[in-house]
Amino acid sequence: MAMTINEIYQYVVEQGIEKDPRKREGVEEMLEREKKSYEEMKDEEKKDYDTERLSNPYSDTRILCGDPETEVKRLMVGVDIEVGEVLLADRLAEKGKPVDLLVTHHPEGKALAGLHYVMHMQEDILARYGVPINVAEDIMSSRISEVKRGLMPMNHNRAIDSAKILGIPMLSAHSVADNQVASYLQELFDNEEPRTLGDIIKMLKDIPEYAEAARHNAGPEIIIGNKKRRAGKVLVDMTGGTGGSEDAYEKLSQAGVGTIVGMHIKEGHRKKAEKHHVNVVIAGHMASDSIGMNLLLDGLEKKGVEVIPCSGLIRHKRS
Ligand SMILES: [Zn+2]
């Protein structure tokens, strides 16, 4: 059995919407607004517009190269697919194990250059946890511009150019996977209501990907607070492109959030969280990205596609 690249792409986008923090209605509303603004564009603006944005709410999830109708029997998937992994796929082909599609979690090419668009998702997450939407939009606005500027000087197409030379198709699946891990953990904490930060760490370490990471010194850690501190209301902050605004911690604290469980945190953000008494648990970057990807890959394997994990992906299958 095989799937086409386009079928895989449609599948991951659909799964992303399924677990989107804005819910399906919120996503549909956003796509509707996008269509309206596209229709109002001048031809000049339409020329550069990526029309995938009309049906796919995730700018960081794209077919990056290759014919979408290509049949995929085997894919190689990593947290980062760089030139090294592209060459690795080509070596595998030489050894009689051709890779039909490279799947990168972290975006490349136009999916990287447009990463900042998905950050608007964070406005809705903040609003869901009690931050007024006007405040959420305002604090995210300057952070989104900052991220956009930070992406501008990058060599976005480097890995894709290598993949094109070797004729290996490539796809990125970022927020669609981050939505999986965020909703998976949020549901877990909402149901179990951990009393302390120690309980949160224990719950995380019961998950195979985190258990594996812990054995490699990359397991979940309490960054602010200690294991005896009470967790209060827990917010899983793992989707929406990249780290949000430093100003969010003050607003979340006021809105009643006790603990944030994230993948990683910048020093400036950590200081703001500490100042505003918000506990922070860092679950781990590669392990968290792996859970998100694994939840998608399980579905693809069920459809008959073989998966070769690489580049930091801790593969664990759930039944
Ligand atoms: Zn990541």
Mean pLDDT over each residue of the chain, to the nearest integer: 97
Q: How confident is the model at residue 230 (pLDDT cuts 50, 70, 90)?
A: very high
46 alpha carbon – ligand 1 mean position (Å): 31
Which pLDDT value is given to residue 115? 95
Tell me: the pLDDT tens digits for 184-215?
Answer: 999 999 999 999 999 999 999 999 999 999 99
Tell me: the pLDDT tens digits for 86-99?
Answer: 999 999 999 999 99
286 alpha carbon – ligand 1 mean position (Å): 7
104 alpha carbon – ligand 1 mean position (Å): 10
Residues whose CB is less than 8 angstroms from the CB of residue 194 and which lie 6 or more positions away in sequence, other chains included:
200, 202, 203, 231, 234
Residue 259's SS3 state is strand
Identity of the amino acid at 313: L
Tokens of 254: 């006021």
Arithmetic mean of pLDDT, 225-247: 97
189 alpha carbon – ligand 1 mean position (Å): 21
Q: How confident is the model at residue 15 (pLDDT cuts 50, 70, 90)?
A: very high
d(CA 232, CA 226): 13
105 alpha carbon – ligand 1 mean position (Å): 7
- Mark the residues whose beta carbon lies below 5 A from ion ligand 1: 289
94 alpha carbon – ligand 1 mean position (Å): 30
238 alpha carbon – ligand 1 mean position (Å): 9
Instruction: Answer for the pair 139, 170: CB distance below 8 angstroms, yes or no.
Output: no
Tokens of 109: 């090419």
185 alpha carbon – ligand 1 mean position (Å): 16
Instruction: Answer for the pair 285, 204: CB distance below 8 angstroms, yes or no.
Output: no
Beta-carbon neighbour count of residue 232 at 10 Å? Answer: 17
114 alpha carbon – ligand 1 mean position (Å): 16
Element housing 127 (H / E): helix 121-128
154 alpha carbon – ligand 1 mean position (Å): 17
282 alpha carbon – ligand 1 mean position (Å): 13
Report which of 260, 313, 309 is spatially closest to residue 286, judged by C-alpha positions: 313
289 alpha carbon – ligand 1 mean position (Å): 5
Has residue 1 got a pLDDT over 80?
Answer: no
287 alpha carbon – ligand 1 mean position (Å): 9
Q: How confident is the model at residue 148 (pLDDT cuts 50, 70, 90)?
A: very high
Which pLDDT value is given to residue 2? 86
Query: What DSSP assignment string belongs to 38-88?
Result: HHTS-HHHHTT--GGGGT-S-TT-EEEES-TT-EESEEEEES---HHHHHH
d(CA 194, CA 19): 22
d(CA 99, CA 139): 43
